[in-house]
Structure 1
Amino acid sequence: ANVIIRSVKPQPTSDTPAVSSSSSVLAYGLTYSDLRQIKDLQLVGSTIVPAVAHKKNLQHAKNYRTGARIIATTENLPGVKELHIRGRFFNEDDVSKSANVAVIGQAIAEELYDFDDPIGETLLVGDDAYRVIGVVGHRDSGSATPHSKTATDHNDEIYIPITSAQNRMGIVQRLVETGSRQYVRIELSEITVHLQDQNQVRPLASVIRSLLAQSHGGKRDYEVQVPLDLLNQAEREKRLWNLVLGSIAGISLLVGGIGIMNIMLATVTERTREIGIRRAIGAKRRHIIMQFLMETTVLSTSGGILGVIVGVLLPLLFTMILGITTSTSVVSIIVAFAISVATGIIFGVYPAYKASMMNPIEALRHQ
């Protein structure tokens, strides 16, 4: 379980007006002093990972990539972010020596190195040459990176030792906006505190909020995020969606069942004389009931089979066209089919009962 602290650009107020000069430096966010204070808490079973986000152009041979995300961090990041590395990640020795080594995302590897293996090759990051020592394998976006409130794709990032970034990139970054240039000074973009005990997450988040509120003098240039809260919110939204979708499905079943009942009632009316003939030659009421229930079952079974086919093919179509990963379980197919058949049978009981209760003499007179 993690507590994530991020640098956030503060909103201008009357006391802190927006920077409007054509070339200026705006300093905000987390600092190494904040990192030391968090480390001084001496949390048992914790791993603290600082990170700094940069944007640089990349080049290998004739291949270019502009504005790539560079994440400068420590050797503990893969364990905290659950990254899958081919090759290796930089180690403590690489960080202490400010080694020019880099771990690149799979998407960047494919774009810059085509079909070649990038491990051991040189990559130009800005004006500095780095040796590629590992590749982050394909994985779903599962955790956020610096400067982002939402999940981002680790396959599209580059990781370098934080000491290397300090020596070669500094802590002042240039942002070019329409009609102006602005320089931003951010010592740390993100600090992730990984805890073994999930029960300590929320108390620690409260302690860190109090600590930073004091050290930053009330300046809201950071945010403390607990993924557990986001997970709980996502679960609540999921339950709400399940309720909405379940209500829609229930209404659809009700409408479909009423439709089947109306069809069977019309069928009973049209076949009144046939029912009278069957009763006259010895058919009992239960035989009439079974006849119409069988017809209702065939009707609902046909609809259920058609629904299963559509329900299986549509997710496959979405996956092929939109690239959205979908899954269909055998259990859900069986349950949906059984509910479809059961709905038809339930709503077919009344028409079958009505047919069985007809007076044979009156039925024979029906034209």
Structure 2
Amino acid sequence: MFIKRYLHDILIAVEAIIANRLKSILTALGIIFGVAAVISMMAIGNGAEQEILEQIKLVGVNNIVITPSTYSLSDGGGGDGNGQPTAKKFSKGLTLLDVEAIKKIVPTVERISPVISFNYSALLNGISRPVVLEGIDNHYFDLFNMQLAEGSRFNATQAEKGLPVCVVGNNIKEQFFRQQDPIGKYIKCGQIWLKIIGVVERRDFTASASDELGISSSDNKIFIPVQTMLLRFKNRSLIRADEVLNANKNANGNGMVVIYGGPEQKEEPIDTDDNLNQLDKIVVQIKETEQLNNSATLIKRMLLRRHSDLYDFEVTIPELLLKQQQKTKKIFNIVLGVIAGISLVVGGIGIMNIMLASVLERIREIGVRQALGAKQKDIIAQFLSESTLISLTGGIIGIILGVVLSQIITAVFDIKTIVSAFSILIAFGVSVGVGIIFGYLPAKRAAANDPVVSLRS
């Protein structure tokens, strides 16, 4: 009997909504856009957080990255760290000796790898592709959470003796070995034939990570032991004749340097690479996150002492930078959520205003129901059901619109969005709550009408 009674009130509310379709749709618009805004804003927030986590995987956990800074190796151009020139000093830049010193002196080091990078062309069967050739230590794969899809890493003999072996990225395999197993095959890089012993597993790569943190995808790289790079390709710590001539600016003005010493002088291109550091990067992994700042400070002081007090390097902690970004983005997402939530409240106020106006328009209907035996709770149930059904319907439409809007944001603006079940439940629950809260006052006012007065109006 109880259920049947209130079911009758709900049916009357449904009939009233259908009879006033246009007004009901306009009333629901605030809820629709509010719910859609909440879902899409939370989707942007979830996407940003996921992107940060992916970037942390790319830069590695607890890593410290040491890179050369822009300066002149043999003068005070490096400055004292505050932009002030220093007295004339000399530094060899980042070298393998720095790697050994960090291993020996810093007790919190878990792993360390030097990195040397050059742009080359890979050649096989008449196919040539530009690639990045990187000389690394075996620890490099662990530092950046890189897994091998096939084959193996460098063994001790290959690493120590600088043998011509390599591990290639997924794109290299796809471009040169589509229909065959690359393991054991050879590929020419520069003038050296390298034996492929492994293939790196493809990884999703975030472009913003490259811009902000200086990391890049491994898919288009060829990895070789660092000793192979120094012995067989290029060692920037060794001074060559053409570099001496270049440093002395002994050029004829057309981009060629004159080489003497033979029966006929000849011209060769000037090496435009002014980076004289033996290494392009040193990546250090620290045992515990809490030790990152102290370890970075110790490494910085040690390198300053080794580099004649020249700030010819930069020490960065990518994970902490990313976590700071994550904290900033969370605050930004909270602000966006609050703004979207305000639109829901505005939608609720709209429901209340329309329902209050509806009560004034339907005073005679309320009086008739009361005269036929409807109690105050029946009138409250009718008008409360009406406002709740409007907000409920608006919430469902808003959820669909929010999901679609999130997909549009991803497609058009290339912003990663993730719609979670939690955000849908929150938005849906709030929309129902708004209908109940803002519908109660009009329902209470409708029920408070005197039936005699209502029938006379």
Range class of TM-score, shorter chain: 0.7 to 0.9
> Counterparts of 2:334 and 2:106 in 1: how far apart (Å)?
44
Residues 95 and 163 in structure 1, CA contact (< 8 A), matched pair in contact too: yes
2:118 to 42, 46, 54: 54
> Partner residue of 1:2?
63
2:273 to 145, 170, 183: 183
The amino acid across from 1:215 in the alignment is R
With over 3 angstroms needed to count, the CA separation of the structure-2 counterparts of 1:110 and 1:325, relative to structure 1, is farther
SS at match of 1:40: helix
> Partner residue of 1:170?
234
1:153-192 residue CA offsets vs partner (Å, 9 max, x unmatched): 2223221111111012213499xxxx96623322011112
With over 3 angstroms needed to count, the CA separation of the structure-2 counterparts of 1:7 and 1:278, relative to structure 1, is same
With over 3 angstroms needed to count, the CA separation of the structure-2 counterparts of 1:63 and 1:344, relative to structure 1, is farther
Which has the larger displacement, 138-147 or 247-256?
138-147
SS at match of 1:264: helix
> Partner residue of 1:83?
146
Instruction: Tell me by how many angstroms 1:54 deviates.
Output: 1.1
1:282-338 residue CA offsets vs partner (Å, 9 max, x unmatched): 222211111011111111111111122233344456667777664333333222211
Q: Using structure 2 for the length normalisation, give the TM-score.
A: 0.69
1:86-139 residue CA offsets vs partner (Å, 9 max, x unmatched): 221222221112121111211332233344433332222122211222111122
With over 3 angstroms needed to count, the CA separation of the structure-2 counterparts of 1:42 and 1:202, relative to structure 1, is closer
With over 3 angstroms needed to count, the CA separation of the structure-2 counterparts of 1:316 and 1:144, relative to structure 1, is closer
Residues 106 and 299 in structure 2, CA contact (< 8 A), matched pair in contact too: no
Matching of residues 326-341 of structure 1 within 5 Å: 326-341=417-432
> Counterparts of 1:147 and 1:128 in 2: how far apart (Å)?
31
Matching of residues 82-101 of structure 1 within 5 Å: 82-86=145-149, 87-101=151-165
Q: Does 1:74 align with 2:74?
A: no
With over 3 angstroms needed to count, the CA separation of the structure-2 counterparts of 1:85 and 1:136, relative to structure 1, is same
1:54-111 residue CA offsets vs partner (Å, 9 max, x unmatched): 1111222233222x22221111211221101122122222111212111121133223
Residues 260 and 296 in structure 1, CA contact (< 8 A), matched pair in contact too: yes
> Counterparts of 1:296 and 1:197 in 2: how far apart (Å)?
55
Q: Using structure 1 for the length normalisation, give the TM-score.
A: 0.85
Instruction: Tell me by how many angstroms 1:28 deviates.
Output: 6.8
Residues 167 and 197 in structure 2, CA contact (< 8 A), matched pair in contact too: yes
The amino acid across from 1:82 in the alignment is N
> Partner residue of 1:108?
172
With over 3 angstroms needed to count, the CA separation of the structure-2 counterparts of 1:131 and 1:315, relative to structure 1, is farther
> Partner residue of 1:261?
352
Instruction: Tell me by how many angstroms 1:11 deviates.
Output: 8.2
Of all paired residues, the percent bearing the same amino acid is: 35
SS at match of 1:47: strand
Residues 171 and 219 in structure 2, CA contact (< 8 A), matched pair in contact too: yes
1:205-227 residue CA offsets vs partner (Å, 9 max, x unmatched): 11111112222234332111123
Instruction: Tell me by how many angstroms 1:262 deviates.
Output: 2.1
Q: Which has the higher strand share?
A: 1
Residues 384 and 436 in structure 2, CA contact (< 8 A), matched pair in contact too: yes
> Counterparts of 2:144 and 2:207 in 1: how far apart (Å)?
7
Residues 58 and 64 in structure 1, CA contact (< 8 A), matched pair in contact too: yes
Q: Does 1:159 align with 2:228?
A: no
> Partner residue of 1:351?
442
> Counterparts of 1:93 and 1:145 in 2: how far apart (Å)?
34
With over 3 angstroms needed to count, the CA separation of the structure-2 counterparts of 1:255 and 1:314, relative to structure 1, is same
SS at match of 2:308: coil
With over 3 angstroms needed to count, the CA separation of the structure-2 counterparts of 1:273 and 1:151, relative to structure 1, is farther
Q: Does 1:296 align with 2:360?
A: no
Q: Over alpha carbons, which structure has the higher Rg?
A: 2
Residues 95 and 164 in structure 1, CA contact (< 8 A), matched pair in contact too: yes
1:63 to 110, 114, 127: 127
> Partner residue of 1:360?
451
Residues 52 and 162 in structure 1, CA contact (< 8 A), matched pair in contact too: yes
2:343 to 252, 255, 258: 252
1:188-209 residue CA offsets vs partner (Å, 9 max, x unmatched): 1111222223332221111111
With over 3 angstroms needed to count, the CA separation of the structure-2 counterparts of 1:287 and 1:345, relative to structure 1, is same
Which has the larger displacement, 96-105 or 146-155?
146-155
The amino acid across from 1:5 in the alignment is I
Residues 108 and 291 in structure 2, CA contact (< 8 A), matched pair in contact too: no
> Counterparts of 2:146 and 2:355 in 1: how far apart (Å)?
59
SS at match of 2:337: helix
Q: Does 1:197 align with 2:288?
A: yes
> Partner residue of 1:23?
none
With over 3 angstroms needed to count, the CA separation of the structure-2 counterparts of 1:154 and 1:325, relative to structure 1, is farther
SS at match of 1:202: helix
> Counterparts of 2:207 and 2:365 in 1: how far apart (Å)?
68
The count of aligned residue pairs is 352
> Counterparts of 1:115 and 1:319 in 2: how far apart (Å)?
34
Q: Which has the higher helix share?
A: 2
> Counterparts of 1:248 and 1:338 in 2: how far apart (Å)?
17
With over 3 angstroms needed to count, the CA separation of the structure-2 counterparts of 1:335 and 1:144, relative to structure 1, is closer
> Counterparts of 1:108 and 1:171 in 2: how far apart (Å)?
25
Instruction: Tell me by how many angstroms 1:239 deviates.
Output: 2.2
SS at match of 1:155: coil
The amino acid across from 1:117 in the alignment is D
The amino acid across from 2:305 in the alignment is Q
Matching of residues 211-230 of structure 1 within 5 Å: 211-230=302-321
Residues 54 and 70 in structure 1, CA contact (< 8 A), matched pair in contact too: yes
> Counterparts of 2:147 and 2:128 in 1: how far apart (Å)?
25
> Counterparts of 1:195 and 1:166 in 2: how far apart (Å)?
27
SS at match of 2:70: coil
> Partner residue of 1:33?
97
Instruction: Tell me by how many angstroms 1:43 deviates.
Output: 2.2
Which has the larger displacement, 228-237 or 52-61?
228-237
Cα RMSD (Å): 3.2
